[in-house]
Structures are given as C-alpha cells and as structure tokens.
Amino acid sequence: MTTIESAADRGSADAYYGRRFNPHTLVSNECGGHVCQFVLEGTEEYDAYRIGYINETDKKDWGL
C-alpha cells in the first residue's frame, strides 16, 4: 500500500475540522480507494501528525 496523504497533512486536517487527536495516515488499497492506517506513538509519523495538529491555526467556520 502507498501513503496518499501524510501524517502531517492528516493532523492539520483533523485540527482544522475540529476532530479529536487521532494519529493516522491514509494509504491506497488494491480497489483504488483508501484506508486509515493508525500510527504508533514514538514514530516519526506520530510526531509529524502531532506537529501538523498543533500547528494548525485555522479552524473551519461551520456557520452556526
């Protein structure tokens, strides 16, 4: 499987949309779709997700 969106991108997107901290990447599957692949604490991907999540300063305006 190939990573289609980095952990940093996912962290940034989760923070932007107000989702909880949930370290993961998206990887492509054989059917042309994608699946979430969770990352373990202490890995480079975990750190990248965390940095992307913490450094996201913009938030989605839901218009509520």
φ, ψ for residue 10, nearest 5 deg: -65, -40
Give the per-residue pLDDT at 3. 61
pTM here is 0.84
User: What DSSP string describes 17-55?
Assistant: TTPPP--EEEEE-TTS-EEEEE--TTSHHHHHHHHHHHH
Question: In which residue are the tokens 């962290």 written?
Answer: 11
Read off the pLDDT of residues 20-42 as tens digits, 9 standing for 90 and up.
Answer: 999 999 888 888 888 888 999 99
- Residues 46, 47, 50, 52, CA torsion sign: negative
Q: What's the pLDDT at 59?
A: 95
